[in-house]
Amino acid sequence: MPVHPDIAPILKAMNAGMAAIVQASVEQIGLLRQGPVAPPAARTPVAGVEDRRIPGPAGELTVRIYRPHADGPHPLVLFFHGGGFVLCGLDSHDELCRGLCRETQAVVVSVDYRLAPESPYPAAADDCYAALVWAVAHAHSLGADATRVAVAGDSAGGNLAAVTALRARDLKHPVLRHQCLIYPPTDARCDTPSYEQHAHGYFLSAEAMRWFWLQYLQDMARADAPYVSPLRAPDLSGLPPALVITAEYDPLRDEGERYAQALAAAGVATQLHRYDGMIHGFCSLPVRLDDADHALRLVGRHLREALA
């Protein structure tokens, strides 16, 4: 099907913005991060929101904790934001996390991990795992249940959620019940058919994604490492059940779907849902989309069932 009619009018400006990011210097990237984030017309209400500083692998990290209405202890969801490992943060994904908190009735901990190129791989992956370990250790004080834990993320955050699940399995701690991966990059080689089919014109371009990977890895010889490209991990067995969401007009579509297929082949209970007519990032676009609402409800339902 064609690109959704509500997205088409804003694609030109979105494509120009992405093209400008690829040409940005390190200094300009810093300025882009400091730019204002347009708030939604009305924020999704939750019972409470708190920013907290926690220990990290290279200094303190900031996390934002969202608490649901209802009595606890609640399930616990660690959320990792997208932005190509380079951009975005707690504010850019505040509304998405509020919706996630509402739909899951879980305590959601959003992680402000270190960004590239100043802090390249494995900084973000290390921060996300450290935040997971901290949150589980402090679950009681958060009003959460340390035995009902999941990870979730969109775009680069989807990669980090998958990588965090791999690391938790490898280190045998913490035990995760579920992973929700929203249009995740799972293979830094960037060589799937969807990279050719949707190379440009749909917001996230093939050129931009390769640039993001270069900022994150610095050395593309790292591309096949399992904690970089989970699709290339030699063993995916023993991972928590997964929901993988992809978009039709997204260069990352095929690798996300291949990862879902690889998880299922390894015996991991996996659900895959492709949103036709959608582009990368549709869950956070500045337009109201029924499919974005549906995706959030779908994530919420999967997490509620997995964490019940």
Task: Return the pLDDT at 287.
Answer: 84
The span from the CA of 256 to the CA of 186, in Å, is: 6
Per residue in 225-273, pLDDT (tens digit) is 999 999 999 999 999 999 999 999 999 999 999 999 999 999 999 999 9
Task: Return the pLDDT at 27.
Answer: 87
End-to-end CA distance of the chain: 36
CB of 302 within 8 A of CB of 272?
A: no
The span from the CA of 305 to the CA of 308, in Å, is: 5
Tell how strand 48-56 and strand 74-80 pair up: unpaired
- pLDDT over 80 (residue 167): yes
Per residue in 193-237, pLDDT (tens digit) is 999 999 999 999 999 999 999 999 999 999 999 999 999 999 999
- What's the gap between Cα 134 and its chain centre? 19
Options 250, 254, 284, 291, the catalytic residue? 250
Phi-psi region of 284 (alpha: psi -120 to 50; beta: other; left: phi over 0): alpha
Residue 215 tokens, joined? 């900022």
Q: Is 280 a catalytic residue?
A: yes
Q: Is 155 a catalytic residue?
A: yes
Per residue in 56-74, pLDDT (tens digit) is 999 999 999 999 998 899 9
Options 74, 81, 280, 302, the catalytic residue? 280
- pLDDT over 70 (residue 184): yes
* 91: helix, strand or coil: coil
Options 81, 112, 127, 155, the catalytic residue? 155
Task: Give the long-range contacts of residues 53-60, CB within 8 A, separation 24 or more.
Answer: 54/131, 54/134, 55/130, 55/134, 56/114, 56/126, 56/127, 56/130, 56/131, 57/123, 57/126, 57/127, 57/130, 58/114, 58/119, 58/123, 58/126
Per residue in 6-54, pLDDT (tens digit) is 999 999 999 999 999 999 988 899 888 877 666 666 799 999 999 999 9
Per residue in 61-113, pLDDT (tens digit) is 999 999 999 889 999 999 999 999 999 999 999 999 999 999 999 999 999 99
Task: Return the pLDDT at 188.
Answer: 98
pTM comes to 0.97
Mark 7-16 as b/e (b = at least 16 C-beta within 10 Å): beeeeeebbe
- Domains along the chain? 8-306 (3.40.50.1820)
Task: Return the pLDDT at 36.
Answer: 67
CB of 182 within 8 A of CB of 295?
A: yes
